[in-house]
Chain A
Amino acid sequence: MSLAGRLRCHLFGIRSVHGSFERGGLDPGAGARLDRIADALVVGHHAALEAPDAKSLHWRLSATPRPFRGTAYEGAGMGLAARDLVTPRRDRVGEFSATYAGPYRYHLHVGVGLALARRRRSPEERLPWLDPLLGWVAADGYGFYDALFRRQSRGPLVALPGGWTPFAQQLFDQGVGRALWLGLGGDAGLIRREVRAFPEPRHGALWSGLGLAAAYAGGTPDQLAALRGAAPQRRVELAVGATLAAWSRAIAASPVEHTDTACRILTGQGAATLAAIAEATRAELPVISPMPLAKLWRDRIGFRVDQLSHPPAPIGRGRSSAGDTRRVSRDGVRPGDWCQRAP
């Protein structure tokens, strides 16, 4: 390891993440179960801090076992972003994303969020340097980090960062939801109690995160069925999360069995079906949109997934609320809805 690499590891390195589970709010046993995930994250992170260039980083990450490679890339995103933040003229994340990150670009951008959270830098400020669609998941990584390392002793587990747009906050909560699944060991009862401590408008995104983590990391069939039963009214949000997990597994060409099983239990559809939905909606995204592309994508996934389980109602029973005569596009999203004030 070069001297500069060692210095960087000393400055930005992670000693251990295991301790974070033993402090209040999360299940102490989770640390042991998450050993391998945490290890992959740290390996990727340190590889990014040490590696002199993108190519050698790529080789080191390729040595990790396939099911954990996504997590290693997440760690790498964290390391590269940490270096970018101190040298504003360099764009290592962008370079790596354009060259070697390929199928793991989703994970890479989640990792960027972890680094931003450590430095308390808003992901939205960083967006112009990130991928136009996947860059938004940095906010998800930020939320995940806060749920692990910045928990509150009273009230909801994690406070929303101020000054963010509502969509970024939604993704933040998705990250918190992911941390809840991993941190509470998939216990639906505990999860439901923890979610109830959050204000109601945040619940949807939390359930998306729970669905994402449950489908990505898996769980026992009983746990998954209990998760689905715990929030019948959040079925669509749960399914959106599962769909994103299935998509990221499919793009990375690492279809693992537990993701497929989890998708079937949570949504009634196989991982391949869900991934195909996500990919088809992604390919249809426009170039210019007043809505962040990532939000458009999520909303459309939600609409399509909802349609799968509920075929469209017969004509005459529209999906929009009564009296609303504004134009509704084919995915049920009204233009301008997301950023306008109430009339």
Chain B
Amino acid sequence: MVLRVAPAPSALSTKTPHLPSVAKRVFQLSADDFPRRAVGCVGTHADLDRTWESVRPVATTLVDAFYATLDLRDPDAVSDALDELPCELRGIGYEGAGMGLMALDTLSPRGWRLRRFILGRGAPHQCLVYLGAGMTLARVPGNPMRFVNRHDPALRWLLLDGYGFFDGFFRWERCLTRPPALPGYGPNAYDQGVGRSLWFLTGADVTRIRDIIAGFAVGRRPDLWSGVGLACAYAVGVHDGQTVAALRRAAGPLVAQVAVGAAVAALFREQSGQHAPFTDLACSALWDLDGYSVAALAHEAGRSLAHTPVAPPSDRYPRWRAAIHAAWLEGPTAPGRDTADEPAGSRVEASCP
């Protein structure tokens, strides 16, 4: 799964030729490291190799896209390269591009490549781009908020989600105690990212996820489960129908949070126009609806937020998630409904429409 990169046009290599090499040295990343991280977090287990095989394409795409972005630097050239990727991995590619653009932005004083990318051709994938960009922030010394505050007030929380994911994946000890100085909704977003990382670290092993989350403080668990829900509905290739059913049982009373995560994932998919059968599967298990309907429902939940033309909207992202939560509680899959009617675990292959 190698990202094909067109040779950089000469126009790109005129200014600051040293920037990519600096960035590469500062932000080293290797896909082959990933299994070792998993051992560090959840301990070694027999099927680690099998799990790793299923996650490998995602990891290599992420790292390749990251390095390609550092080489290309120009947001449009990055989009060209990413559009060559197979459709189910394209979102992950954009995540890697977000990492790369954020890395370049943090190294230049008024960098706004990431903003330009999101205003331009990165727009359909903006949520994934933000998640990736947040992973870079975790490695930037100092307060991450000085970069976070340069971005869209509602979606900037996704940056901290990515930050949490990075800590969960690469610095497990650190995410047990939260990083300091995250204002507002930051700690929640951070934990959602940690929850996402659990899905990959454990290789989608629901029992292990449950045990790990049980070790966290009670107040952090809802966001952790929400992150797990997002990863399970979005991630590639590590999914079958029984897993979601098991997830429902494992989450217990916090299953609504899993559903919120899945709805957000469905919306990410709908935004980028890249339909994936496993997103549908997760949505039908958690919401009893297909992916597009869940995304529509998530949009609808956002509309019901009290708008007023005379005051700026505040806390849109947390309030939106709360509205989705409320919608789930009113829906047909809320607690009390039996969960035994999931399709018996047929593994689903991703396909491009």
Chain A interface residues toward B at CB < 8 A: 94, 97-98, 102-103, 105, 124-125, 127-128, 131-132, 165, 168, 251, 279, 282-292, 335-336, 339-341
Q: What 10 A-B pairs have minimum CB-CB distances, sorted nearest first?
A: A287-B302, A102-B310, A290-B124, A287-B320, A290-B123, A286-B299, A339-B123, A286-B302, A165-B119, A283-B307
Per the bound structure, the CA–CA distance linking A251 and B311 in Å amounts to: 11
Residue among A127, A165, A279, A335 making CB contact with B309, cutoff 8 Å: A279
Chain A residues whose CB sits within 8 angstroms of the CB of B112 once the complex forms? 125
Chain B residues whose CB sits within 8 angstroms of the CB of A103 once the complex forms? 309-310
Per the bound structure, the CA–CA distance linking A165 and B273 in Å amounts to: 21
A-B contact count (CB 8 A): 83
> Separation in Å of the B319 CB from the closest CB of chain A?
8
Structural contact, A287 and B317, CB atoms closer than 8 A? yes
Structural contact, B310 and A288, CB atoms closer than 8 A? no
Per the bound structure, the CA–CA distance linking A103 and B308 in Å amounts to: 10
Structural contact, B312 and A131, CB atoms closer than 8 A? yes
Per the bound structure, the CA–CA distance linking A103 and B309 in Å amounts to: 7
> Separation in Å of the A290 CB from the closest CB of chain B?
4
Chain B residues whose CB sits within 8 angstroms of the CB of A105 once the complex forms? 309-310, 312
- Take A103-B310, A336-B273 as given contacts and tell me if A124 and B119 are in contact as well, using a CB distance cutoff of 8 Å: yes
Structural contact, A288 and B155, CB atoms closer than 8 A? yes
Complex A-B: 17 CB contacts under 8 Å: A98-B312, A102-B311, A105-B310, A124-B116, A125-B115, A131-B312, A251-B310, A282-B307, A285-B307, A287-B154, A287-B316, A288-B302, A290-B123, A291-B123, A292-B119, A339-B123, A340-B121
Structural contact, B273 and A132, CB atoms closer than 8 A? no
Per the bound structure, the CA–CA distance linking A267 and B154 in Å amounts to: 35
Residue among B115, B154, B305, B307 making CB contact with A124, cutoff 8 Å: B115
- Chain B residue nearest in CB terms to A125: B112
Per the bound structure, the CA–CA distance linking A287 and B267 in Å amounts to: 11
Per the bound structure, the CA–CA distance linking A292 and B299 in Å amounts to: 15
The count of chain B contact residues (Cβ–Cβ below 8 Å) is 36
Per the bound structure, the CA–CA distance linking A132 and B154 in Å amounts to: 9
Q: Is B126 an interface residue (CB 8 A)?
A: yes
Chain A residues whose CB sits within 8 angstroms of the CB of B119 once the complex forms? 124, 165, 168, 292
Quick one: which of B276-310 are within 8 Å of A by CB? Answer: 299, 302-303, 305, 307, 309-310
Chain A residues whose CB sits within 8 angstroms of the CB of B316 once the complex forms? 132, 287
Residue among B153, B299, B314 making CB contact with A128, cutoff 8 Å: B153
Structural contact, A128 and B154, CB atoms closer than 8 A? no
Structural contact, A288 and B305, CB atoms closer than 8 A? no
| Listed residue (A132, A251, A288, A340) with the most chain B CB atoms within 10 angstroms of its CB | A288
- Chain B residue nearest in CB terms to A102: B310
> Separation in Å of the B192 CB from the closest CB of chain A?
15
Per the bound structure, the CA–CA distance linking A279 and B320 in Å amounts to: 20
Per the bound structure, the CA–CA distance linking A102 and B316 in Å amounts to: 18
Q: Is B331 an interface residue (CB 8 A)?
A: no
Chain B residues whose CB sits within 8 angstroms of the CB of A291 once the complex forms? 123
Per the bound structure, the CA–CA distance linking A132 and B310 in Å amounts to: 13
Per the bound structure, the CA–CA distance linking A184 and B119 in Å amounts to: 34
Structural contact, B309 and A128, CB atoms closer than 8 A? no
Chain B residues whose CB sits within 8 angstroms of the CB of A286 once the complex forms? 299, 302-303
Stretch at the interface among B43-51, B144-152, B337-345: B144-152
Quick one: which of B11-70 are within 8 Å of A by CB? Answer: none
